[in-house]
Structure 1
Amino acid sequence: MLTLWDLLPKKWKPPAPPEPPPRAPHPTPATASAPVRQRSNAPHAAPTMRDRYETMTRKLLTRHGVRVRKWRTSMSGVAWQVTYADGTISRLIEAPRPKGPMSAAVFLHEIGHHAIGFNVYKPRCLEELRAWEWALAEMERQGLNITDSVRKRMDDSLRYAVAKARRRGLKRLPTDLLPYATTSPRLVNSSLAVLISSIPSAV
């Protein structure tokens, strides 16, 4: 006589009981006290003055197509341009690398000559005035400190330029340069010192 078990397939096995869900691990002291890290929304550090000077230098050289022939260690500079036979122009300067108000002013003054253009303002001392005006205006635009020493440097430079133009025969001085028509005592003493040093000593 056949039973119910005889009718079932031989390989059939009863299903295994379901496994209980895993239990959450108990927090250990290390994990329980660990703070949750959150994304910081703090702003980046503000650029330093060195960063600002370097950025200004790079941008202005690129904007006006100027190449630095030499970085000077003294607070002096010169600007000039070379026109080649094919019409291309090479714009050059020598100036101190901007690291502070004075070096920045001298650098910007030389850039100013290229910005305003050569032989646009005549006489030459008027071009010097316009280049200085451009330099100080750019310092203000950049938010740089224009110190009393910078303003005095501009004043001395323009007085020297006017005196030089008059020695070369300038008869009529532009109105904008009248405030610089008198030579400061410091420049007179400096010129005398140079003159005396150039006189050969008696044998």
Structure 2
Amino acid sequence: MMFVTPAFAQGAPANGDPNAATGTAPAGEVHTETGVAHDAHGGGVFPPFDHTTYSSQLLWLVITFGFFYWIMQKVVVPRVGGILEHRHDRIAQDLDEASRLKAEADAAVETYEKELAAARAKAGTIAETAREAARTKAAADRAAIEAELAEKLVAAEASIATIKAQAFAEVGAIAEEAAGAIVEQLIGPKASAEDVRAAVASAKVEA
């Protein structure tokens, strides 16, 4: 879009340009947006500093600002807000999930500790029962062994008494025979069996 400044409009008739009525520039002559002829100002002015274009600059500034404000309000801000809200929801979900997992972990640890304590108590009960059973069995085995030894001792004592009686009986007969032979050797005639038996019995009593 080209803007025609008053300087250009006034300068055209003075030069006798037939295009002045239409407001067009002569052929081969280029004018800027500010509409200031280069030959009129001798080197030109930087367009933003030209006071004659302040109104158009302000108009375009308002239009540009309004356009960018509309873009920010309708596109950028909702999109950024949606991203932030999504991240906020995601963080909240992650925190909830972390809390749930922590609660499950705490419950699992508590259950494990309870089961471990129950297992230890059960192991202690089993060990105590086993020790008690072992003591009872040992006492029963000991009593059985002692009873068996007592029976064997009684039998041994009876056998010893029998053997001793037999030995004494045999010793008595042997003593009677020896005493009869000794008497016969000493005095000549053989002594009677009753006398020898009486003498041996008298010697046993004295012994």
Q: Which has more strand, going by share of residues?
A: 1
Q: Which has more helix, going by share of residues?
A: 2
Give the TM-score normalised by structure 1. Answer: 0.22
CA radius of gyration, larger in: 2
Q: Which has the higher contact order (CA 8 A, sep 6+)?
A: 1
